[in-house]
Structure 1
Amino acid sequence: MNLMKEEMLLYRKKIDTETLKETLELACKKIAPVWPLEHFVAVNPYQGIADQSFGAAAQQLSQLGGINMTLPISFYLEKIAEGIITKEDIKQAISKHTLVNERETDFINRVKSQQRPLLPDTTLTMLDVASRVDNKDYNRLMIARISAWASSYFDNGQAQWSAADTNLDLYEAWRLEAENDLTPEIAGLKEFRKTIKSFPKDYIKATQLALDILFVPQEGLDSYLHSLLLKMGGWAAHAARLDWEARLNGQESDKTLQFLAILVSWEATVYQCQESAKLFVSWLDAKKRLEDSSLTNETLADLLILQEAFDIAAQKSLISKINKSSDQVSGETYTPKAQAIFCIDVRSEVYRRNLELVDNQIDTLGFAGFFAFPISFTPLAHTQGIDQCPVLIKSGPKIKETISEEVDRTIVEKRVLRSSFKQIWKSFKSGAVTCFSFVSPLGITYLPKLISDSFGFSRPVPHPYKMSMSKSKIAEKSVQITQHEQMGLSIDQQVQMAYNALKAMSLTADFADFVLIVGHGATSVNNPHASGLDCGACGGHSGEPNAKVAAAILNEAEVRTRLKDLGIDIPKTTTFLACLHDTTTDIVSIFNEYAVPNEKITELESLKISLQKAGEATRTERAVRMSINGPVSENIFMRSRDWSQVRPEWGLAGCSNFIVASRKRTKHLDLGGQSFLHSYESQLDTNYSVLELIMTAPMVVTSWINLQYYASTVDNKVYGAGNKTLHNVTGGLGVLEGFSGDLRIGLPMQSVHDGIKYQHEPLRLNVVIEAPIDAMNNILEKHQNVKALCDNQWIFLFAMDKEGKISHQYTGDLNWGRVQ
């Protein structure tokens, strides 16, 4: 063995500390961040490998961890049988792949004859090898022990007491825990604690030592580290999020690096504890495969062609629908009685279409759900603000919710008292001794509420925004926009934000009497992923605060006066209304009716009737998709209160298109709740600054959402959250599926599948933009990260011409091909 070790020392050239850290950083960059449940953000899990082509990334993930980036062959064969994927689609897909050179009919017959796909050997880490050699699941042991410790170390206030020393750095805290953890030794890993204790406290030095023990070849080091991170992708993603937010605030953070050091240390420790000739030889063989990154899974190559054909079929359907509709667009102009600005969210497309159908004098527009007001919002009786903006940007001014100073104080006192009592009661229920006193004599007192909650007559917990407030007080809530004690905005800030927002919305003239700014949120109970039904871009938060701030500022007389000097003349008759679209119930609420002058009350009531009718039509449409029988509205409202409901709504399932154009291009189309719709008038965007903003922010965010749903569909085990009914919230951060395992990321299976079929089918985002090709090319050339998404086919980009027809498709490297 000693001779073999000496040979291996020669086999692996030692890496200096600086180079090692760079290598570790490159591996960590491949892990996308994930946000806590209360701030759920739709994230592209492939973000760290988006510099590769879609196909290359699929091959790499398949080789490193057996990860799927397509559905099984049977899914695509069904689409062929249904006529959704045609032979022409497959022929076109084959022409884009160099590995396959056969006629489409021969290809179809060949894949039909294939049985189960031939999976590559993904035995790339030492624990994989040791598990196979000893016939013990060391991976499961490692994941369970690290996850149990991480749940305590990263706990966000859920646990009664912490078992981890959070005053220490990540690696050092884990090392202290591992030195005292008897579980590995009980499982058969002798001297596990002693070996861990021999490792340096410095995580870089510890990683260096661990890699020297394992003799990982330098040529395969990157693959090894990436594969290791994928084993605990959930907690690694949480660490990546902490690093992301620190960097956004101009701080240094190395949480992901330290987490990777923990994983490498576990590998080296198990290797030393289980050292044997058989293990050594098997690990040596595995390391040879680490160095060979050219292996190709031919079955996966076929699957990628089928996926490409499925994407092509969807693109043809969208192009046909839009291009046929462009011939029917009317050129007549009229003054709308109301303009409603909705979030670009795909659920808004359904409501917007129905609102325009019930009242053709209402125009709708689409814009990012924070409405260009990136605020930090402090709800009533709270001490900390919530960032009400996409995670790609830093939040701006601090805005406080208020009623009046006296009422605010009373509500704060009530909530503090309630919170204190709740904490005492929780301690009583959870105590080692008192829990028995709780269950026996007091448990039966919960029976009436259990019955009431089960039948949907009450909520299991109070609504956080309505707690300790009467209906009248809730109606009086407003936002404090005037600058006061580091809160609010100066008049200059208000004017600038209002100007930027209206310009970006392409709404600078022809204002209606009512302009509705419609944020969106969702209603559900007993649902850890509830915030995922709110705005997927804005940290899982409702757009209500942004709508209220935007309306308050745009209704300010001084703001309007100064906007007029900047070329935007808002008539005195125009009132901006702050609204919220509840996407679970499809009710649109108006918060500032008091701003409407008395002479406009009749028109307001007419508007509210239109909103109500649109809600009814939208609920009816959604009821079909949700297989609801009986009274539609009653059943949908019940789903929002049902604490056993795993599918209160479908969220953004089905999202596959992002259309950036004037509403007239899509107004008469039923896009099936699958399209993000962003209003844009290129003729008003003289220097294409608005276009640049759209392509670098909303286009990236919608791609994140699309790829999160995509990944949660094709491999829910790795990139999804598994079965909702088995979830246990841990650390107030995320969920475990069952009592142990890795932190689950992405979406639960119930969010993409209805038990019979997929409600979200894997399609990459089709982006259609009504703008000159040269303008888009200039932006792509300026922003290489966005160009990479298009070049590597994570996004399919299309151009719409002045006639409203999709005329060209981006083919890569700033080249475009004409759409046939």
Structure 2
Amino acid sequence: MNGSSTLPDQVDLQKEILIPDYPDQNLNLSPVPDINDLVRSASRVIAPLGPIATFAARNPWMGLEGQSFEQVARWLKDIRDVDICPSASILLDAKNRGEIHQDFLEERLQHWLDVQSLDLSRDVAERFCRAALKLDDLPPNLLAAPKLKGLAEKLSGLKLKTIERHPMKTLSLRLEQQVCERVAHDLDRHVIKWCKLFLDESQAAWSLPNKEEGFYRAWRRLVQYDPALSHSQRRRLKDCPQEADAALKEALSALEIPEWQIQDYLEAHLLSLPGWAGMMLWRSQQSTRENSLLTEYLAVRISLEWALIKPYLPLPEQKTDDQSLLVPLIAAWVHWGEMPIEAWSQLSSSEQKARLNLAHRFDHLLRKRLWLEAWEQTYEERLKEMITSNQFKSDEIKPMLAQFAFCIDVRSEPFRRELEKAGPFKTYGVAGFFGLPIETCELGSQHSHSSLPVMLKPKHKVKEFSSEFEFKTYQQRRQVANSLNRTFKTMKQNMLTSLLLPELSGPWLSLQMLVRSFFPRCGGRTFRQLQQLWLRKPSTELSLDHKHTEAELPVGFSEEEKVYYVRQALKMMGLTNNFAPLVVICGHGSHSTNNPYSAALDCGACGGASGGFNARVLAALCNLPKVRKNLANEGISIPEDTVFTAAEHITTLNQLRWLYVPKLSETAQEAFEQICATLPNVSDCVNKEQLARLPNLSSRSKNPKTDMQRFAEDWSEVRPEWGLARNAAFIIGDRLLTQGCNLDGRVFLHNYDWKKDQDGILLSNIIAGPATVAQWINLQYYASTVAPHYYGSGNKATQTVTAGLGVMQGNASDLLTGLPWQSVMKSDQEVYHAPLRLLVLIQAPREYVERLLAHDSAFHQKVHNGWIRLATIDPEGYWESWS
């Protein structure tokens, strides 16, 4: 069954102004806010960007969700010439593959026409719009035709129903566009240089002097000696104020930026280099010591801008040319409306205006939006047909030998599907950190890292430990290895020893290069085994019991906290009764070689942290007798012979690696042995499916396991796996809803039983946590596909790892924020990722969803403004679209 609905108190988006104004234009701010407050407000246009070693998916428009998708799309197109709707070639290719149904495109067109005041015949409007929807470009010779320009001049007196849009561009960019001086380019080059010097964490042999004083003060001390600036430019910057906020205000005043436009101007500068600005924003959020870093960045940038463009000030005002606006509108009617130039003289002025207004409204962005919505609707209809026709039966009474809790990651879906086919196994989907807000510290490491979504903060630290004797010997071997690495790096960066280093290291590195190049699979395995043989890491235990506090975080858990986290984890995955003899908590990670984006293939939410450590902690907590006893008092009875174990799903190899297997009961041992016997066949099936998707490999793959191992170990491989490409939906419901369905590795699956959630708390937590993370992942893949030059990171083969932070193209590009070309494209011409906005499907009664939307304003806003699509399926199987 199918249906559609609008959100409670929702205004139909189609009835809004079709050419909306820019987001939150500032009008007459009185009194003028503090400059730091304006910087904080302006930072909404960029996303914080952490180091690539702890890569976490980010929604690049997370601060703009208060505006509609179309508003933001128009604003970005005008201010930075960035198009965030899929290109015509992407849309037409999707249609040719059968992914966009023509009927849905026609339905979107008719719906749009229904809400317009056309002032001309519906038939004429339909013919024009259908022709324009073919997405072909206007012929250049038509746009340059003298007759057409002459007609545009005659019609320039008509007052069209348009909204004037004046993008707030930086003065350096305006100057570059007006006089063809590369001022904006030079400004970016200078800013990039100083950002690299200040933010460098590992690569520079010499660090920036006075770095500890902050970015602005370190820059101010040195910029007056910068040989890349002219003498007059250095003299202008010599007397900059001591403090960043004062310098920023002084620069804005010198550029004569009106007070009511300051925030817009700051936003324009942040969008000039969103990567470096995003890194400054992220750093400012990590400690109070650097909380003004973004203000310092803007003070440096805008002070430099003033020094570069002062000789050209004041710039002439930008003027709108009515004639240039009319030329493409008339050409559109000539090309798509089959209306010759001569025919315009036969129309009254009202008829001329009606046609021009329609062409203005039905512009390229609106046309592509209709195509995108038709593509999304086609996918939703096919998903609906698959799920509603799925003949599933309850398996609650069917005995299960083992139960597996997997991360909701889309790469888990094919593995879960094959695992359930292979035996009496049941799988569950839950957020891959398993609800444990922990910071982890591996044996012998001096550093710990957060192992939870980046939107959360850790509340506990869990450490690995072993016997004192084993730890000392292991630590000594680690220190030897670390000393060799540090010595090698020191010699490489020293002017004298770098001359000797090739003679010393050449034979070993040459041998390693040959082995890794010609025998990547065997070489990688051999080098890894040699490392493990040298280190000989002992068996370890976890610090689960609360003992003391380190750096404001308690180590371990109290008895009450242990019970709380286990209870919450079991409820979130929907496993509170009918326990199997063996329960496997499966984290997930990846394995690749020479890959700056290796962290991006681990957990997309947790900053590149594998979920294996969390899985081990949860399994150990679930096996504690005191925890089980307390849970039994609350109605969650875990049988005595049920044993929890932990494993890691290696997504590159589609293997399960056992991390924690305690002493097993007899029935659990039987289950464990059957799983071990079954897993090779499961891996082979999933590997074949995965290989078939990789370009130019399926036809020559003879041994899936060997091929996947080679991809993981080959240091020249630019695409070890597809990651989360083609993700399209997030399903919140019982596994029975999708069991047996081939979801093609495109769906996040989170278990949910509405009958056990009368107050809606579980659903609210899923939406606020896992669903939000899935939306971030979805929109990062979306942005990297539709605007790879701005939100992606280009070709992996030509990237430069910079300052230990991220990647650049060349030595003077922005710090690239998104995914590489190879993560979203099959080839230079063919897109692999389908840029669709995430569809959230909730299996629950209608009143549950209404309550959720009423209480969760952020989620309501995302759905209302087109950043997420929403559908529900009620207990009777009735499908309802809310978007």
Give the aligned partner of residue 441 of structure 2.
378
Alignment partners' CA distance in 2, 1:663 and 1:197: 66
Alignment partners' CA distance in 2, 1:286 and 1:610: 71
- What amino acid is the match of 1:515? V
Residue 771 (structure 2) aligned to one of 687, 699, 705: 699
Q: Is the 8 A contact 1:460 1:643 kept in 2?
A: no
Shift of 1:222: 3.5
Give the aligned partner of residue 137 of structure 2.
115
Cα 1:261–1:619 shift into 2, 3 Å: same
Q: Is the 8 A contact 1:654 1:674 kept in 2?
A: yes
For 2:411, what is the secondary structure of its paired residue? helix
Residue 784 (structure 1) aligned to one of 857, 863, 880: 857
Give the aligned partner of residue 19 of structure 2.
none
Give the aligned partner of residue 797 of structure 1.
870
Gaps of 5+ in 1: 1-11, 812-820
Q: Is the 8 A contact 1:73 1:111 kept in 2?
A: no
Cα 1:312–1:269 shift into 2, 3 Å: same
- What amino acid is the match of 1:574? T
- What amino acid is the match of 1:157? S
Cα deviation per residue 1:525-563 (whole Å; 9 max; x = unaligned)?
110110000000111110010000001010111111111
Alignment partners' CA distance in 1, 2:394 and 2:29: 71
Give the aligned partner of residue 420 of structure 2.
356
Give the aligned partner of residue 340 of structure 1.
404
- What amino acid is the match of 1:779? L
Cα 1:564–1:462 shift into 2, 3 Å: farther
Give the aligned partner of residue 211 of structure 1.
252
Q: Does 1:413 align with 2:472?
A: no
Alignment partners' CA distance in 2, 1:643 and 1:594: 36
Give the aligned partner of residue 489 of structure 2.
426
Alignment partners' CA distance in 1, 2:527 and 2:857: 47
Q: Is the 8 A contact 1:770 1:802 kept in 2?
A: yes
Shift of 1:210: 1.5
Cα deviation per residue 1:137-163 (whole Å; 9 max; x = unaligned)?
222222222222212211223323202
Q: Is the 8 A contact 1:149 1:164 kept in 2?
A: no
Cα 1:137–1:500 shift into 2, 3 Å: same
Cα deviation per residue 1:212-245 (whole Å; 9 max; x = unaligned)?
2222244544433222111110011112212334
Give the aligned partner of residue 41 of structure 2.
26
Alignment partners' CA distance in 1, 2:792 and 2:801: 15
Give the aligned partner of residue 736 of structure 2.
664
- What amino acid is the match of 1:655? N
For 2:815, what is the secondary structure of its paired residue? coil
Give the aligned partner of residue 4 of structure 1.
none
Q: Does 1:772 align with 2:845?
A: yes
Alignment partners' CA distance in 2, 1:771 and 1:109: 42
**Deviation larger for 642-651 or 89-98:** 89-98
Residue 738 (structure 1) aligned to one of 782, 799, 810: 810
Shift of 1:389: 0.6
For 1:316, what is the secondary structure of its paired residue? helix
- What amino acid is the match of 2:312? E
Shift of 1:782: 2.4
Cα 1:54–1:113 shift into 2, 3 Å: closer
Alignment partners' CA distance in 1, 2:50 and 2:743: 30
Q: Is the 8 A contact 1:123 1:286 kept in 2?
A: no
Q: Does 1:748 align with 2:820?
A: yes
Shift of 1:624: 0.3
Alignment partners' CA distance in 1, 2:433 and 2:586: 10
Give the aligned partner of residue 5 of structure 1.
none
Shift of 1:275: 2.5
Give the aligned partner of residue 265 of structure 1.
303
Give the aligned partner of residue 611 of structure 1.
679
Structural mapping, 1:536-575, within 5 Å: 536-575=604-643
Q: Is the 8 A contact 2:86 2:786 kept in 1?
A: yes
**Deviation larger for 341-350 or 589-598:** 589-598
For 1:451, what is the secondary structure of its paired residue? helix
Larger radius of gyration: 2
Shift of 1:173: 2.2
Shift of 1:257: 2.5
Q: Does 1:494 align with 2:562?
A: yes
Cα deviation per residue 1:259-303 (whole Å; 9 max; x = unaligned)?
22222222222221x326xxx343x327999xx9x9989222222
Give the aligned partner of residue 337 of structure 2.
none
Shift of 1:23: 2.9
Alignment partners' CA distance in 2, 1:473 and 1:316: 54
Alignment partners' CA distance in 1, 2:251 and 2:179: 21
For 2:229, what is the secondary structure of its paired residue? helix
Alignment partners' CA distance in 1, 2:819 and 2:467: 40
Alignment partners' CA distance in 1, 2:495 and 2:126: 67
Shift of 1:620: 0.8
Shift of 1:332: 7.0
Shift of 1:344: 0.1
For 1:639, what is the secondary structure of its paired residue? helix
Structural mapping, 1:263-662, within 5 Å: 263-272=301-310, 274-275=311-312, 280-282=314-316, 284-285=317-318, 298-325=363-390, 327-329=391-393, 333-359=397-423, 361-440=424-503, 442-454=505-517, 455-456=519-520, 457-459=522-524, 469-470=532-533, 473-474=536-537, 476-486=539-549, 487-597=555-665, 600-626=668-694, 627-628=696-697, 629-630=700-701, 631-662=703-734
Cα 1:338–1:211 shift into 2, 3 Å: same
Q: Is the 8 A contact 2:57 2:605 kept in 1?
A: yes
Cα deviation per residue 1:764-793 (whole Å; 9 max; x = unaligned)?
000001122322232333232222111111
Cα deviation per residue 1:474-509 (whole Å; 9 max; x = unaligned)?
572342212334322222211111111111221111
Shift of 1:379: 1.0
For 2:212, what is the secondary structure of its paired residue? coil
Q: Is the 8 A contact 1:50 1:788 kept in 2?
A: yes
- What amino acid is the match of 1:125? T
**Deviation larger for 79-88 or 698-707:** 79-88
Residue 66 (structure 1) aligned to one of 71, 77, 81: 81
Alignment partners' CA distance in 1, 2:825 and 2:726: 11
Alignment partners' CA distance in 2, 1:178 and 1:111: 53
Cα deviation per residue 1:374-418 (whole Å; 9 max; x = unaligned)?
211001111222111111211121101123222122222221222
- What amino acid is the match of 1:400? K
Cα 1:754–1:637 shift into 2, 3 Å: same
Give the aligned partner of residue 213 of structure 2.
168
Q: Is the 8 A contact 2:275 2:816 kept in 1?
A: yes
RMSD over aligned CA atoms reads 2.9
Give the aligned partner of residue 800 of structure 2.
728
Equivalent residues, number:
780
